Amino acid sequence: MPRYFIHLAYNGTNYHGYQIQPQSNSIQEELEKCLSFKIGQKIAITGCGRTDTGVHARNYYAHFDVAEPIADVAYLTEQVNLFLPGDIVIYKIWQVDDNLHARFDAVSRTYHYYISRTKNPFHTQDSYYLYGDLDVAMMQQAADLLFEYEDFTSFSKLHTQVKTNNCKIMEARWFEQDGQLVFRIKADRFLRNMVRAIVGTLLEVGRGKMSLEDFRRVVELKDRCSAGLSVPAHALFLEEVEYVW
């Protein structure tokens, strides 16, 4: 069966994450509904990973199989976009090797978390407004400690069904962009709620409520209760997914 990749983006505000859930609207459900209608057969889509309720994606990839090759993928892309809600867009659909997998062949994923330091009514759905002083230099020192570890149980949602809580962190840094404070983190994989829990704990360091040694201890305890609170989902974006094509 021919396999096709989809490059898309979405605003996750109105969805209970990417993956289909009973009695909850999801990105996957909308995509499958529209593609199935336009192609004329039941389409099952496999995404590059889960995103939680309210999380956005600037670049997301998925794949699906069809019974016969699609005659005009550009036209299909245009037609599906007409049927999709305004908060989901497909950039491109293209045929790939039959064994290329959107999830398992992704070599890295990159997330950005956006924090507004001043109140801005135009960023209420895509940035976390945080009042008070932050020691960003100290937060960066704490983020640098992440490279020393692989087991991030302390930052994982409890009772998830995964074989391992090990992840390889490739990048973790704070920077300023357009008047916002941004945390960028790149890894081969992420646990559920991991980025939001890491950011919440780093903010405890920035507020002076947690030392670098405290942060190190949080990671080493492998206990979610020891870490900081998870920051709100609406300021988290899946920015990039990398493949070796």
Which residues are the active-site residues? 52
Of 143, 140, 126, the residue nearest 87 (C-alpha): 126
Concatenating the DSSP letter of every residue in the chain gives --EEEEEEEE-GGGSS-SS-BTTB--HHHHHHHHHHHHHTS---EEES----TT-EEEEEEEEEE-SS--S-HHHHHHHHHHHS-TTEEEEEEEEE-TT--TTTTEEEEEEEEEEESS--GGGTTTSEE--S---HHHHHHHHHGGGG-SB-GGGSPTT---S--B--EEEEEEEEETTEEEEEEEES---TTHHHHHHHHHHHHHTTSS-HHHHHHHHHHT-GGGS-PPPPGGGEEEEEEEE--
Q: Are 227 and 203 in contact (CB under 8 A)?
A: no
Q: Which residue has the tokens 């490059």?
A: 7
